[in-house]
Chains A and B, each alone.
Chain A
Amino acid sequence: MQSCHTEDHLTLYGHRFTSRLLLGTARYESPRQLLDATLAAEPALLTVSLRRQAAAGQTFWDLLRKAGRPLLPNTAGCLTAQDAVTTACMARELFETSLIKLEVIGDDANLQPDPFGLIEAATELVKLGFHVLPYCTEDWVVCKRLLDCGCEALMPWAAPIGTGQGPRNPAGLRELRKRIPDVPLIVDAGLGLPSHACQVMEWGFDGVLLNTAVSRASDPIRMAKAFADSVRAGRGAFLAVPMVAQELAVPSTPEFGRPFAPDSVVMASGSLMSEFVKS
């Protein structure tokens, strides 16, 4: 009997999602391409940002409505906790959601999160009733502090934003997963290939968030579908509980009854199948 996990949902702050893929909306060649990639990926959430009003604002809003997916606003580009809190407040009013992808950037070169600003902003936003999804590193102490201040999900990076390098610190990510088994952990940033997404899902992460890996592929629509499939495959493998790797070879074909072997057992007529069934 096959096991079926039709009830396997991603739950973030009480919101249930059938998909475990979160998709960014930036760097596509056209609005049509973004829309088609969204249709192909069927993401749980689409990430969006806020910027000073320009002519394209209304067009993008119309596009989001057409996409019909729940939205996750971010605080991208914020360099201080105060900027991030103000941006989050504007996003909550505009997008009518308390979910916020909290980014407080501490370094221009690798867009690494500022752990101090991140914890300060998360603390304030939780007090203001936000459902905070902090973009962080795999640093255990920072993650613990974020949980202590009331975050109910974390988004550790795989690698710096937009690099497509895949997990740079697999041991650190896996250790984080092991130490925080019951809180949703979504790997955000730095994934470049569906195999990267599949891998972190196999490790037990609850979801992945990516943007550039899809939007900068030669065929973003095909890549969106590939990522969606890989996330499902990785999750399926995690739920199936993989075999334990062995040091030495273990033959998969039964040794019993091997022809031409000097120690092969001589079976009575018709008994080979019955032995196999018994074993």
Chain B
Amino acid sequence: MFVIVNGHELLVPDQQTLRELLSLLSPTAPFAVAHNEEFVSQANYGERRICPGDRIDVVSPMAGG
């Protein structure tokens, strides 16, 4: 299935949880995640099912004012 990760379309295996998807993506720690614009805490990665077309944002610390 295709999902949108940080604005880019990505082909990933079907029937994934967010935890499995993140394992595939291997983002650099520390990071936080939103699924379809909704925050998902680390504790809930394993329960969150990913469907085709879902949008995942993985964010990191950045400079800011």
Listed in ascending order, the chain A residues whose CB lies under 8 Å from chain B are 24-28, 34, 47-54, 56-58, 60-61, 64, 73-74, 76, 82-83, 86, 89-91, 93-95, 161-162, 189, 209, 211-212
Contacts of A211 in B (CB 8 A): 65
Between A and B, 6 residue pairs with Cβ closer than 8 Å are A49-B63, A51-B62, A53-B59, A58-B29, A74-B65, A90-B33
- Please indicate the chain A residues that have their CB under 8 angstroms from the CB of B39 in the complex: 86, 89-90, 93
Is B34 an interface residue when CB atoms closer than 8 A count as contact?
A: yes
**Contacting residues, chain B, for A27 (C-beta < 8 A):** 63, 65
Known pairs A53-B6, A53-B58, A58-B60 / 14 extra A-B pairs, C-beta < 8 Å = A25-B65, A26-B65, A48-B62, A48-B63, A49-B63, A54-B62, A57-B60, A57-B62, A74-B64, A76-B64, A90-B59, A91-B32, A94-B61, A162-B65
Residues of A close to B46: CB separation below 8 A: none
B65 and A61: CB pair below 8 A? Answer: no
List chain B residues, Cβ under 8 A from A56: 62
Interface residues of B (CB under 8 A from A): 6-7, 27-34, 37-39, 41-42, 57-65
Q: Are A90 and B64 CB-contacts (below 8 A) given A50-B59, A53-B6, A58-B28?
A: no
Q: Tell me whether B64 and A24 are in contact (CB under 8 A).
A: yes
Q: How far is the CA of A24 from the CA of B41 in the complex (A)?
A: 27
> How many Å lie between the Cα of A91 and that of B62 in the bound state?
11
Among B39, B57, B60, B61: residue with most chain A CB under 10 A: B61
Q: Do residues B28 and A90 form an inter-chain contact, with CB atoms below 8 A?
A: no
A24 and chain B: residue at smallest CB distance: B65
**B37 touching A86, Cβ below 8 Å:** yes
Pairs A-B, 8 closest by C-beta atoms:
A49-B64, A57-B60, A24-B65, A211-B65, A90-B32, A89-B39, A51-B62, A26-B63
Q: Chain B contacts of A51 at CB under 8 A?
A: 59-60, 62
CB distance from A125 to the nearest CB of B (A): 12
